[in-house]
């Protein structure tokens, strides 16, 4: 098992890794709307979703993977009414014919008061 770490995404803010690579897969921890320097990205759900997806992109690339190899995502929303905006931004990152499996749930709160968190699993 190998730890994946990149300066192009924010450091883990707890006792976990940005991602772990094992047995041909990379398991990316949930990313929130933090800039790579660790500061909070303020703004609407679209801006926060872009930041989250860019963080995931950086972690995936550091592992030798990319969005085209993502097999499963989990999306956590603070407000399910943001679903349509999130779906449009999220979908723009998956260009291939086969989209990853996904769960999307509304939660009562997220770290640092952000509106969205996304985790994923991808082939390497």
Q: Which two tokens stand for residue 3?
A: 């730890």
Query: How much is the pLDDT for 119?
Result: 98
| 121 in Cβ contact with 70 (< 8 Å) | yes
User: Measuring CA to CA, which residue among 94, 123, 110, 121 is closest to residue 33?
Assistant: 110
Measured CA to CA, the distance from residue 25 to residue 39 in angstroms comes to 29
pLDDT of residue 42: 87
Tokens 């979703």 found at: 49
Domains of the chain: 2-123 (3.30.1330.40)
Residues 70, 61 contacting (CB under 8 angstroms): no
Work out the average pLDDT over 39-49.
Answer: 95
Q: What is the pLDDT of residues 53-112, one digit of tens each?
A: 999 999 999 999 999 999 999 999 999 999 999 999 999 999 989 999 999 999 999 999
Angle (deg, nearest 10), helices 45-63 and 83-91 = 40
User: Mean pLDDT over residues 107-124, rounded?
Assistant: 97
Across the range 9-24, mean pLDDT stands at 95
> Looking at residue 68, what is its pLDDT?
97
The reported pLDDT for the residue numbered 113 is 93
pLDDT tens profile 26-41: 999 999 999 999 999 9
Confidence check: pLDDT of 13 > 90 = no
Q: H/E element holding 4?
A: strand 2-4
Task: Kindly list the strands in the beta sheet with 101-106, ordered across the sheet, starting from the edge strand earlier in the chain.
Answer: 2-4, 19-22, 25-31, 116-123, 70-77, 101-106
């Amino acid at each position: 098992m190998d730890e994946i770490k990149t300066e192009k995404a924010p450091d883990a803010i707890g006792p976990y890794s940005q991602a772990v690579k094992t047995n041909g897969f990379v398991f990316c921890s949930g990313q929130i709307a933090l800039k790579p320097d660790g500061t909070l990205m303020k703004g609407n759900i679209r801006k926060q979703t872009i930041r989250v997806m860019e963080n995931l992109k950086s972690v995936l690339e550091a592992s030798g993977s990319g969005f085209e190899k993502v097999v499963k995502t989990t999306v956590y929303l603070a407000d399910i009414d943001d679903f349509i905006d999130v779906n449009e931004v999220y979908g723009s990152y998956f260009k291939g014919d086969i989209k990853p499996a996904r769960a999307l749930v509304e939660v009562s709160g997220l770290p640092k008061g952000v509106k969205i968190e996304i985790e994923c699993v991808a082939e390497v």
